[in-house]
Structure 1
Amino acid sequence: MHVPLLQIGGTVAVIAALIAWTGPVVRWIRRASGRRRAARHPAPGRRPLQVVAADVRRLGRSLALVPAGSPMARRRALAAAYDDVLVEAADLLEVPHELRTTPEGPARDLERLRLLASLEGAGLAVRH
């Protein structure tokens, strides 16, 4: 079976045109399905400030009430969780801090107290 060269060239041109046309269509379909997916499953946003403030108060109390003789791992885990919610509150209120970059020890404890005072100054109720 012999196919004329002109017919093969025309077929290739049609295939090339279809490929060029399907690219934008596929991109449009992907964008549309992404929007539908985002509407069904909204991306988690920031937590409400009231919830973060409640966590700051709860974890602050828990850290202050760690009984003597408790494992050091418990105290460190509570301190890390407390630092995380302090940073989250600072980010929500746009309060500058250096808690993440300050090494463990007295310098970090001092930065934690400074951040608490700054958060109180910004209007966050950090103590009951």
Structure 2
Amino acid sequence: MSTALIQLVAILAGFAAVVVLFGPLTRWLERRSARRHAARNPAPSGRPLERVAADLRRLGRQVDLVPAGAPMARRRGLLAAYDDVLLEAAGMLGVPSSLAGCPEGRAREVERLRLVAELRRAGLRVPV
């Protein structure tokens, strides 16, 4: 009986030593792993894909129907919102995009069209 008690105390002491010595290291490794996982797999926006697709269709129509003579700020604001939703949809479907890094102008328009085509190819119903 006394040897079993001594073995139990020794096991508990060893466990306590491991927790005290390796606890901070374990927590650091867990935080590092969580940061790396978050960097590789961005969190979803929380919005369903159907809602994002509906916003893409709505904003695409609004961009196409900006009346002549409307302030340029309105058109730029709509295009910025459309780009944001395009990037959100691309992220949700895993479609690579360089839209965020493109300067305003023809290159950005081409990237928008390419991204819309890729989203359509991925199965999202958005107008061209």
Q: If the length of structure 1 is used for normalisation, what is the TM-score?
A: 0.64
1:110 CA displacement: 0.4
Deviation track 1:100-125 (CA, whole Å, cap 9, x = no partner) reads: 00010000000000000000000000
Residue in 1 that maps onto 2:103: 103
Could you list the runs of 5+ residues in structure 1 that have no partner in the other structure? 1-43
Equivalents in 2 of 1:45, 1:101: separation in Å?
20
Residue in 2 that maps onto 1:93: 93
Equivalents in 1 of 2:45, 2:90: separation in Å?
16
1:45 CA displacement: 4.8
Instruction: State the secondary structure of the residue aligned to 2:47.
Output: coil
| Equivalent residues, number | 85
Residue in 1 that maps onto 2:115: 115
Equivalents in 2 of 1:49, 1:121: separation in Å?
15
Query: Rg bigger for which structure?
Result: 1
Residue in 2 that maps onto 1:59: 59
More helix by share: 2
Equivalents in 2 of 1:77, 1:70: separation in Å?
12
Instruction: State the secondary structure of the residue aligned to 2:91.
Output: helix
1:127 CA displacement: 2.1
Within-5 A mapping of 1:63-78: 63-78=63-78
Amino acid at match of 2:76: R
Amino acid at match of 1:104: E
Contact 2:95 2:118 in 1 (8 A): yes
1:46 CA displacement: 2.0
Could you list the runs of 5+ residues in structure 2 that have no partner in the other structure? 1-43
Q: If the length of structure 2 is used for normalisation, what is the TM-score?
A: 0.64
Amino acid at match of 2:106: P
Identity percentage over the alignment? Answer: 65
Deviation track 1:77-115 (CA, whole Å, cap 9, x = no partner) reads: 000000000000000000001000001000000000000
Equivalents in 1 of 2:45, 2:96: separation in Å?
21
